[in-house]
Amino acid sequence: MKKEFRDLLREKGRKTMPNVLLASAECAPLSKTGGLADVVGTLPKALARLGVDARVITPYHRVIKDKYKDRVEHLFTIRCYLGWRSCYVGIERLILDGVIIYLVDNEQYFGDRIYYGGYPEGEQYSYFCRAVLEAIPLLDFMPDVIHCNDWHTAMLPMLARTQYRGRMQEGMKYLLTIHNIAFQGKFGFDYVQDLLGVDAKYYTSEFMELYGCADYLKAGCVFADRINTVSPSYAEEIKSSYYSEGLDGILNARSAELSGIINGIDTTVFNPRSDPLIPAHYDRAHMKGKAVCKAELQHRMGLDVDPDIPIIAMVTRMTEQKGFDLVASQLDRLVSGRDVEFMLLGSGEPRFEDFMRGAEARHKGRVCAYIGYNEELAHLVYAGADFYLMPSRFEPCGLSQMIAMRYGTVPIVRETGGLRDSVQPYNCFTGEGNGFSFANYNADEMYDTILYALGCGSDKKVMRYLVSHAMEADFSFDLSAEAYARLYLCML
């Protein structure tokens, strides 16, 4: 064990690292719609290497049942009340890569969709919080820390500290991780009262009221012992009204308990040296394979096959959050009369999808738009492109830029959230840096930065430098896990 952890344990008068229960709506590879699942799926494995017994509790979604039913063991059945509704709660256990995952089974709430949307989603995850709190004292595990993730589990600290006072293990602490503050779980208070029986005294701006709604994430921010988010820069940004979606008041009030820990990526899955999904392998010292990947990408996607034409790529949800309005406003200007190719893999808002289909038709051989989700193609894009564009309006952490860098694809990003914390802009005087960045959410700034990057990239020596620096960055989850272990220990 690291000396730092030994010292912290001594300071806390403990012999062992804390037990942690991560509560989450999704957990990779069982169920996944976004980055939340990746964090919850990867973190416990990395924590185990530090001696932390971290387990997960998550809904037994249909997608999990279909694939893992034979490996799941039934532990016990209880009932819980959701207002007047008496609900079935089955607690099952699955062990995956050595991590114990408790699954909450209820077919009414966890059917075909991970998220029902709107008010039904409020009922789904109010049920989940209630079921988790009823199940915890019956588990074969005594957590020291309940690690809540996003609004779906953000009611746990409030319920535990009010309705379950005295029924939970003494001294149990609550950490709330905000993966994206844009989603808060906002409902009418009558509805929340009907589901969870929350006392009306908590429907004030000091507790869970925000702009006339009962806000689950706000309740979590008020009652959790510590709050963190997925990058240090985003932790700062969400204290300002531009980024906070209304929560800057509470987050400023609790700024001493708010911190940021940047996520990592699964460096065994994303590894150009061994990735089975790319046509040739490479590493920093042997880069020939990247050229093979580039030629394959150009050939497969109908782009002009030419090693000297740089490819700028995006693998993304096509939304405003990801800066797609900037891209749509500049793409024609960028590719017209210039030797550059643009490769997009993504899906999202119909207006952006239509724009990309049109751009592909207008710039045959120079623009490719693959509209849809395709994991295999994503790996080829990361490996085959030269530059990776991510001009996000806001970005809590962002994984794509880290994946791109791991494959030696130089990032061009807006300086926000996790992008700011993972990409160091190139300095042409000192040669430092591993990418390019611009400060303001502005189409011209993005355009100028892309031109600057293309200019630097046309110098083969500079490009070799940048690629090498990008691939050198350490984005393994072990660093994040250490920061989480430190945070859990500080909470005790």
Quick check: 264 binds ligand ADP (CB under 6 A)? no
Q: Binding pattern to ligand ADP, positions 43-72, x when CB under 6 A?
A: ------------------------------
CB-nearer residue toward ligand ADP: 139 or 312? 312
Does residue 398 belong to the site contacting ligand ADP (CB under 6 A)? yes
Instruction: For residue 465, give the nearest of 422, 421, 433 by alpha carbon.
Output: 433
- 202/221 Cα distance (integer angstroms): 13
Within its chain, how far is the Cα of 221 from the centroid?
19
Q: Which is nearer to ligand ADP, 124 or 231 (CB)?
A: 231
- The answer to whether 399 contacts ligand ADP (rule: CB under 6 A) is yes
Binding flags for ligand ADP, 7-46, as an x/- string (CB under 6 A): ---------------------------xx-----------
Q: Minimal distance in Å, beta carbon 225 to ligand ADP?
A: 26
State in angstroms the smallest separation of the CB of 374 from ligand ADP. 5
Nearer to ligand ADP, 126 or 153 (CB): 153
Min dist. Cβ of residue 253 to ligand ADP (A): 27
| Among positions 15, 350, 375, 460, the unique one binding ligand ADP when judged by CB under 6 A | 375
Does position 373 bind ligand ADP by CB under 6 A? yes
Per-residue binder mask for ligand ADP (CB under 6 A), 333-372, x = binder:
------------xxx-------------------------
Cα–Cα distance measured from residue 206 to residue 250, given in angstroms and rounded to the nearest whole number: 8
Task: Rule CB under 6 A: say whether 315 interacts with ligand ADP.
Answer: yes
Residue count of the chain: 492
CB of 60 to ligand ADP, least distance (A): 23
Sign of CA dihedral 62, 67, 70, 76: negative
Regarding 378 and contact with ligand ADP (CB under 6 A), the answer is yes
Instruction: Find the shortest distance in angstroms from Cβ 263 to ligand ADP.
Output: 8
- Residue 438: what are its φ and ψ, rounded to 5°? -135, 155
Nearer Cβ to ligand ADP (105/237): 237
Query: Where does this chain touch ligand ADP (CB under 6 A) — which range of 193-201, 236-244, 296-304, 392-400?
Result: 392-400
Q: Is the CB of 289 or the CB of 418 nearer to ligand ADP?
A: 418
Least distance in angstroms from the C-beta of 400 to ligand ADP = 4
Q: By C-beta, is 44 or 398 nearer to ligand ADP?
A: 398
Total of residues contacting ligand ADP (CB under 6 A) = 16
Minimum CB distance to ligand ADP, residue 349 (Å): 13
Q: Taking the complex as a whole, how short is the minimal distance between the CB of residue 378 and ligand ADP, in angstroms?
A: 4
* List of residues contacting ligand ADP (CB under 6 A): 34-35, 315-317, 345-347, 373-375, 378, 398-400, 403
